[in-house]
Structure 1
Amino acid sequence: MKNSTETLLMLAELLEAEPPILPPGALQQVQTLAAELETFSEANLNEMADFIITWIGQFPQEQAIFEQAKKRELQGIPEPSEIQRTFPNFQVIEETDSAVVITPAPQAEKTSLVRHIKQSLKQWTQNNR
């Protein structure tokens, strides 16, 4: 379950990173991901995570950028370029066999991680049309 949670959090951060990591040309792939994730229930986090891992494989360069930026952020090292990426702050509140509850930012309303990702996918799609 822990790996599934980490995968879902990675996708949520990837969708909300500023400046965006995914290229605007990824609209069709993101729409496909959103449609596929709608078929998964919140109880199928492992299957959902496996699908996300396969999907993100389409974007090896963006995945590498995310991982490098995330490592720098965790270590407090500024990026060497002028671009400074910011990632939303997620706090895992509760993790069970079938659900993960998060707060996307300090003192935000609690929400399911799966619901948050589905909403983020819709928002990303709307912003990149």
Structure 2
Amino acid sequence: MLEQHGGEVPHSRTALEALPGVGRKTANVVLNTAFGEATIAVDTHIFRVANRTGLAPGKTPLAVERELLQAVPEEFLHAAHHWLILHGRYVCKARKPDCRRCSIADLCAYPEKTGAPPASPPR
């Protein structure tokens, strides 16, 4: 980073991903949190919430990221990254989701976890 970027953290996804150990998710975190870019780093929590709610279904993190960038209104993209992580970490947990505390339980498409009838994905 010293030689190629003068000791500064690069501002582009391509340049970040060229750094050793930096993949798309890490690059998106840096772009979102350090540079305020409206991007979403799809971690395990976001992947789960996006698929359960039908907000951005996908089989891979990249597919979910692309769907989220289309589904989330631009003015909410920067914050949505954090909201979705927190929701997945503390409410929509993998093994024991706390559906009683969930403000979007009516959107959940996983009745085997919630006991609720399947919801139609929003669009």
Q: Give me the TM-score of the superposition, normalised by structure 1.
A: 0.30
Structure index of larger Rg: 2
Normalized per residue, which structure has more strand?
Answer: 1
